[in-house]
């Protein structure tokens, strides 16, 4: 299974734009963990904890002075989750200028510091995997899940929200991969060693007029993740132009975001950029084979669409456990605790 990993910037990626592939994180086999810290044991790939220096999660401008006689030196220092120094670049270096966005004229210098707002992980799955998941759903998925979901999926006889079983053979394979992606999300984004456990999943089968109102997802642990995988997208949605490239807006009933997923992580609105506020919302065009992983608290909605065809998605919620909490537990007790938290 070839899988590509993309890093989405905290202030959003314009719908339809192409993110830079993170070649270091992308993998070409189904069992690889999406993390820098991996080791091979035959055909099995395991995450290993890096006890030295983890990935940088924050940076600060600091001033250092070796002795009273020496001039002070400004540096841009990056730290991992344990406050270990990942890098230290002095003022005047290209790295310092690139990191702080430094500009200067006539001896006057200024720097802009961007604040992190949101991590979102994008995973691309090959079509043969998507086809297998769709076939499995068509052949086995029948249990209604709408009682616990807010989706207004009822405009067609085929409209449905169905339980996806994570314990059968195919479901277990899907769960194993999602757990690895969740572990990678936390490891790469926050430098923390965790166990991710996808404990519930469902599919949404939408037709013309169906929609999902603004909502977030629940988990059993204090921190958790959710995901969306696009399995089928009607042709009329696929043919919608990229709003950022075509200069399209929501004005004049344009249909620019029909069937799109809307994410919002603040209290602003579409005019934020004009007010010098960071953008805190994004419309994402669904693409077959793309999975988005994000914090469970992230509010999102699905816009209605019109015309023929099924818009099908798979979603799951993940509990997240700090591995440090299991240090004094046996493997059996650890699994009992994880299973208990699924209820």
- Burial of 143 (C-beta count, 10 Å sphere; 0-12/13-18/19+): exposed
Structure tokens given for 67: 């002795």
* pLDDT at residue number 244: 59
* pLDDT at residue number 49: 43
CA distance 91 to 202: 51
* pLDDT at residue number 92: 76
Enumerate the β-bridge partners of residue 196. 320
- Spans of the chain, pLDDT less than 70: 1-53, 65-70, 100-115, 242-254, 268-273
* pLDDT at residue number 14: 54
Q: Which residue has the tokens 């700090």?
A: 322
Cα 1 to Cα 32, 71, 121: the distances in Å are: 10, 55, 18
CA distance 273 to 14: 13
* pLDDT at residue number 12: 52
Backbone angle region of 205, left / alpha / beta, with phi > 0 → left and psi within -120 to 50 → alpha:
beta
CB atoms under 10 Å from CB of 276, counted, come to 6
* pLDDT at residue number 42: 52
Taking the model in full, what pTM does it have? 0.70
């Amino acid at each position: 299974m070839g899988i590509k990993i993309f890093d989405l910037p905290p202030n959003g990626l314009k719908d339809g734009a192409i993110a830079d592939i993170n070649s270091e994180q992308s993998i070409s086999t189904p069992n690889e963990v999406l993390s820098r810290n991996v080791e091979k044991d035959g055909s099995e790939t395991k995450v290993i904890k890096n006890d030295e220096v983890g990935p940088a999660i924050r940076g600060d401008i600091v001033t250092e002075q070796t002795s009273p006689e020496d001039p002070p030196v400004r540096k841009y220092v990056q730290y991992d989750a344990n406050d270990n120094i990942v890098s230290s670049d002095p003022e005047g270096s290209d790295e310092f200028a690139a990191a702080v966005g430094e500009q200067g004229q006539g001896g006057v210098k200024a720097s802009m510091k961007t604040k992190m707002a949101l991590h979102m992980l994008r995973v691309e799955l090959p079509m043969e995997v998507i086809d297998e998941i769709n076939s499995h759903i068509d052949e086995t998925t029948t249990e209604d899940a709408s009682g616990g979901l807010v989706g207004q999926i009822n405009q067609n006889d085929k409209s449905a929200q169905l339980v996806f079983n994570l314990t059968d053979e195919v479901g277990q394979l899907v769960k194993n991969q999602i757990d690895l992606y969740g572990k990678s999300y936390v490891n790469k984004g926050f430098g923390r060693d965790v166990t991710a456990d996808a404990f519930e999943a469902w599919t949404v089968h939408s037709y013309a007029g169906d929609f999902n109102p603004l909502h977030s997802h629940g988990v059993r642990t204090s921190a958790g993740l959710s995901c969306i995988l696009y399995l089928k997208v009607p042709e009329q949605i696929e043919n919608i132009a990229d709003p950022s490239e075509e200069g399209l807006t929501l004005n004049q009933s344009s249909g620019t975001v029909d069937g799109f997923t809307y994410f919002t992580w603040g209290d602003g609105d579409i005019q934020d950029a004009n007010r010098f506020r960071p953008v805190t919302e994004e419309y994402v065009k669904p693409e077959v084979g793309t999975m988005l992983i994000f914090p469970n608290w992230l509010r999102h909605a699905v816009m209605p669409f019109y015309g023929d065809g099924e818009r099908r998605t798979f979603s799951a919620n993940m509990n997240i456990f700090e591995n440090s909490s299991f240090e004094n537990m046996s493997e059996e007790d650890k699994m009992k605790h994880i299973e208990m938290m699924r209820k």
